[in-house]
Structures are given as C-alpha cells and as structure tokens.
Amino acid sequence: MSNMPDFDFALGEAADMIRDTTARFSADKIAPIAAKIDAEDWFPIELWPQMGALGLHGITVGEEDGGLGLGYLEHVIAMEEVSRASASLGLSYGAHSNLCVNQLRRWGNPEQKAKYLPGLISGEHVGSLAMSEVGAGSDVVSMKLKADAVAGGYRLNGTKFWITNSAYAQTLIVYAKTGEGSGGITAFIIEKDMPGFSIGQKIQKMGMRGSPTAELVFNDCFVPEENIMGPLNGGVGVLMSGLDYERAVLAAGPLGIMQACLDVVLPYVRERKQFGSPIGSFQMVQAKVADMYVALNSARAYVYAVARACDAGKTTRFDAAGAILLASENAVKCSLEAIQALGGAGYTTDWPVERFLRDAKLYDIGAGTNEIRRFLIARELIGAR
C-alpha cells in the first residue's frame, strides 16, 4: 500500500474498486515473491487462477461472455497495481488479458469466444499473441511465417520470436502470411497441442525475468479454417485495431514501476542518515523525490486520459503512442533516480531498484519502440507520409 499522499484522479467507483482489489492481492501474493520471480526467472503460473477468481483476466470482456464488462481504464488500473508488485508478472498479465483475451473479445466469432474465453478468463489457461519475427518487428508486414491453404484449413511453416507467455500458453493468436503485402496477413487461433507446433529456444533477457519469452516453431502445423480470427487476409486490420488498446494498457506497466520506486525510496530517505541527519533533509535528495513524483503523476494523467478515450471510442493512434512513450521514458528516469537516491545500496541486488531499471527498459522497446512512437506522433501532427 502507498506510503505517500494519493492524488485523486476521480477515476470512478469501478476503477477504485479494481485498484483496491488488485493492490491487496498484489501486496499479499505477488510482492513477497517478486525477487524470487526475477532471480530464478520463474513464472508463478499458480497465481493465474487466483487472478481469474478476482475477475482480472476478463475486465474488458462483457458479462455475457464471462467477464466483468468494465473498460480500459479499469484494465489500466489492474495492470498498474500488478506491475507495482512485479513488473514481469505485469507484462505477462498484459499479454494475456489484453493482447490475447481482449483481441478474442473484439474479433472472435461466437463459437470461438465460447470455446476459448472461459479457460482464459478463469486463469485455467494462459494466453499469448505472436506477431514479431527475427526480421519483422516494427516492420510487421515483412513477416515470413507462411500459411498455405489446404483442404479444411491452412498449413503454417516458419517461426515467431520474442513471444511473451509462449512456453505456458494454451491459446495463442498468431499472425501469418496468406497472401502478398499488407493485404495478405491473417490472424489464427493456435492451440498448444496442434501437431507441428512447438516451442523453440527460450530467450534470456536482462529484465522482465519471470515473464517467459520464447520462439514459436511451425512445421507443417495444420490449423482448421474455423480458427481464422477476423476476416481472411484482414490480419493487418485486426492487428492495428488492437494496437492503440495494447499501448494504452501496457503503458500502465511503467506507472507501476514508478510507484514501486517511490515505495522503496521514500522510507529509505526518511530513515537513512548521513552527517547526523536523514538524507531526505538534503535538498538534492528532495529534488530527486519531487521529480519522481511529478514524473509518475504526469504519466498517470496522460495514460488515464487515453484509457478513458479508449472507453469512449475517441482514442487516437498518436495519443496511445504518446502515453506509453511518456510513461516508459519516465519509468527509466525514475528507476535511475531511485538507484542514485539509495547510493551504493541501490547498485546491489539486495535492493529491488536495480531490477526496476532492468524491467523499465523493456517498455522503451516493446509494443513499438519509442522511435516508432515518435514517428507516429510527428507524422500525424505534421501531416507527412
């Protein structure tokens, strides 16, 4: 729980309820094992059904499909509080609940929703989304995974890379080439036991350890036609339509990291003494704390506003990009300031602030790099193409 005054963003009763529920669960169940998650690169899958029991996996799914029927603002709050306790678990949670569950909610047909959503929402199953490849990151249209039409469906051949949750996922949304160019990509729902589908190399990362990342391998993997999600050859539309919501929700991960930094720094500077006084009485330390607080709440204001715009159907691509751009860069700065505030202690693994920095850096890169985000914003503002 917070050890500093809270600014009231007037987010509403539902958001406050989600924050309270998620914060209590995260403090009780996630925070005590956060260091172990990082040190052992361990994904605590046993927490998934517990989070499902709280409704966290289906926040944006309608009640008729087993979800809470709430919005992206509430989803952002849950993402923030999980990430405050463990950024890596927060990343896996975002990949599951937004990239997989929310896309199924938006694009799945009634039969697909009935088949896949119950296990994903309950936490019995883990979800994932696979877009990136070794040679296709920001330039997603250059993907090479091929889906060839055969009787009754498609055969997939190729690989995906950098895929979050892949080693544990039972349900994956995978984009593959079914034609040429941007008009020849299709989204498929893949089940982990489909013949010809396997998990390749595990990817070791500097941060976000405990959020499993691996390669996907498709070797003549047959996918039935009914597992096409959205229109055939309409995968780019499916992908891009969800990108704004993905960025809005994932932008809450850095918010949680910044709050975690303050959770550590504030007690430390109150208690740590040098020259006979708490270091929090020194103006240069006070400036760091003030900058961290402003960085957090300015990012919160933007991220919450974009989430509300998503709920109102009024979000813009460049503001979704802007929100995660601001939040990600502020989180890296806050993490560096947290390390500096703790001095030598902050540079050791005895304190979690070095982990916060390693974890924060991912958000400068994932869901489109900050360079791509700046490009999108400038392109819209200037009108250049």
Buried b (16+ CB within 10 A) or exposed e, 84-103: bbbbbbbbbbbbbbbbbbbb
3-state per-residue secondary structure call for 55-81: CHHHCCCCHHHCCCCCCHHHHHHHHHH
Which listed residue (246, 329, 337, 354) is catalytic?
246
Structure tokens at 26: 């995260």
Structure tokens at 215: 């390669």
Alpha helices per DSSP H over 98-157: 103-107, 110-122
- Please tell me the distance from the alpha carbon of residue 372 to that of residue 78, in angstroms, as a whole number: 26
- Please tell me the distance from the alpha carbon of residue 274 to that of residue 240, in angstroms, as a whole number: 53
Nearest to 247 by CA among 302, 321, 315: 321
Structure tokens at 284: 């240069």
DSSP character at residue 6: P
Structure tokens at 116: 């896949």
Tell me the residue type at 236: V
Quote the radius of gyration of the chain (alpha carbons, Å).
21
Residue 80 bears catalytic tag = no
- Please tell me the distance from the alpha carbon of residue 287 to that of residue 27, in angstroms, as a whole number: 28
Structure tokens at 110: 């009634």
What residues are labeled active site? 246
